[in-house]
Amino acid sequence: MPERYPGYDVLHKRNSQSWNEQTRRVIDERLAIDPDQHRFFTEEEWPTIRAVCDRIVPQTVARPRPVPLAAMVDEKLHRNSGDGYRYADLPPMREAWRRGLAALDAEARARHRRRFHGLGPLEQDAILAAVQNGDVREHAWRDLPPKSFFTKRVLHDIVSAYYAHPTSWNEIGFGGPASPRGYVRMYFDRRDPWEASEARPGREERARRENARVG
């Protein structure tokens, strides 16, 4: 698939008027996350969460800076900074993840006699689909509702982490934090000079030129 925002890099805005000191600090911290660092997940859980992340948001295209998904989820759980709410049918965030990952591994062992990360992509997808549909066999789930765990924890935390990273912002043409500079031309099909330019058919070169000037 061709790039939708060719040549756009949200980090060009880093030293412009778009971002201030606070914004730079937050984004710098996010970019400094080591993909292998885990402080919440145990050595046992780590390969499992990495495998789950790879199936939920596969990053197949070679990227200079892939989103360190598992490490970002780990960071959130390590700081235990919640969303401000909890679904009544799920236990608190940390407990839900621990029990959910253990149940996933148990489910994989029951079906294929291997742990989740040892399976091929198709088998992994089949297990995740079963969890999504509530079609699980293993006792390890006990009172943890698999459907809710999948949509309210797995999808929610991993996808949120993905779209909190500048690499995905470049992919979707997002301008990052509007702080302090926000947007002026708030009308259909208008673009501020500091916004990403979309490569609609026939104007790819123009979009590339305009994206080179974003700052």
Partner 1 sequence: MSRADAALDLIANLALAGVAAAVVVRPKVVSRIASSPLLPKATALTRGAARRLRPAPAPPRPLARAKQKADELARIISRYAPQAQRRRQEVARSAGRRLNGSAAMLAFSVLADSAVEHYRGSFENRAMYTPLAAAALTLGASLFGAADARASKHVMRDTIYASAAAAGCAGLGFHSYNILKRPGHWSWLNLFYAAPIGAPMALALAGLLGRGAERVRDIRPHRRATVLGLPAGRMLAGVTAAGLAGTVGEAGLLHFRGAYHDPFMLLPVTVPPVAAVLLGASALHPHRTTHRLTRWWLRLTALLGFAGVGFHAYGVSRNMGGWRNWSQNVLNGPPLPAPPSFTGLALAGLAALSLIEEAETDA
Q: Which residues bind partner 1 (CB under 8 A)?
A: 17, 20, 179-185, 190-194
Is the Cβ of residue 80 or residue 179 nearer to partner 1 in the bound state? Answer: 179
**Residue 178 Cβ, how far from partner 1 at the closest point, in Å?**
9
Q: Which residues, other chains included, contact 25 with Cβ-Cβ below 8 Å and sequence gap of 6+?
A: none
Is the Cβ of residue 23 or residue 124 nearer to partner 1 in the bound state? Answer: 23
**Residue 29 Cβ, how far from partner 1 at the closest point, in Å?**
22
**Residue 187 Cβ, how far from partner 1 at the closest point, in Å?**
9
Q: Judging by beta carbons within 10 Å of its beta carbon (0-12, 13-18, 19+), is residue 197 exposed, middle or buried?
A: buried
**Residue 5 Cβ, how far from partner 1 at the closest point, in Å?**
19
Is the Cβ of residue 98 or residue 191 nearer to partner 1 in the bound state? Answer: 191
Alpha-carbon span 53 to 162, nearest angstrom: 10
Is the Cβ of residue 32 or residue 186 nearer to partner 1 in the bound state? Answer: 186
Give the rounded distance of the alpha carbon of 66 from its chain centre: 10
Looking at residue 210, its amino acid is: E
Alpha-carbon span 162 to 10, nearest angstrom: 15
